[in-house]
Amino acid sequence: KAGVTQTPRYLIKTRGQQVTLSCSPISGHRSVSWYQQTPGQGLQFLFEYFSETQRNKGNFPGRFSGRQFSNSRSEMNVSTLELGDSALYLCASSLDSSIYGYTFGSGTRLTVV
Amino acid sequence: DQQVKQNSPSLSVQEGRISILNCDYTNSMFDYFLWYKKYPAEGPTFLISISSIKDKNEDGRFTVFLNKSAKHLSLHIVPSQPGDSAVYFCATPLGGSEKLVFGKGTKLTVNP
């Protein structure tokens, strides 16, 4: 079966711009979680969506937002980009909103210049 | 403050030898731990887990040990192979089971 697909794989944006990243979960998975990976902070939880509802949110500013569509695909948006937002953004899907069944995508590498 | 700590950013071992990756945690209420392996340009993949009702879990060359009194777990890889070269993260569920808290990772290099 197809894995978790994240698009685009790489992105370069300028400070102040906004960006939208996409995640298509494994077919049948209803939960999508987003993580940010940076060299200094490691992997940090952004938010989790289940059946189009945000269930959990991490400690990130309001510039980071997301949504989930009825087909479980998810997008995350970052507005007013800062240099510190440069990171690998990973999404993970699972069948039932449980981390025990996580499958991660390969991520979107965002560079803010 | 980090709730899960991997204090060694990197580890280098010779092929065939044992690799030991360590992880400490701060909250004694944490009761389940997972190890993920990550290659460059790929997402993390689940490797092995352990519940606090056990002190050891083994899967092939990989064994995880849990010392609850010390709030410490370790991942042993025996024998290490060059294909094991990757970044290893330990993680634990927080706030129920819907999100993971990760350590910062240890980069393992296995030299042929």
B42-87 pLDDT per residue, tens: 899 999 999 999 999 999 999 999 999 999 999 999 999 999 999 9
Q: Are strands A10-13 and A108-112 parallel, antiparallel or unpaired?
A: parallel
> Chain A partners of B100 at a C-beta cutoff of 8 Å?
35, 43, 45, 99, 102
**3-class SS at A58?**
coil
B6 near B20, Cβ under 8 Å? no
Q: Are strands A42-50 and A103-104 parallel, antiparallel or unpaired?
A: unpaired
- Note the pLDDT of residue A97: 61
Residue A2, pLDDT above cutoff 80: no
Dihedral pair phi/psi, residue B3, rounded to 5° = -90, -20
Q: Mutating which of B98, B102, B104, B107 best tests the A interface, going by the most A Cβ atoms within 10 A? A: B98
Contacts of A71 (CB under 8 A, 6+ apart): none
Strand residue runs (E) in chain B: 4-5, 10-14, 19-25, 32-38, 45-51, 56-59, 62-67, 72-77, 86-93, 100-102, 106-111
Residue A1, pLDDT above cutoff 70: no
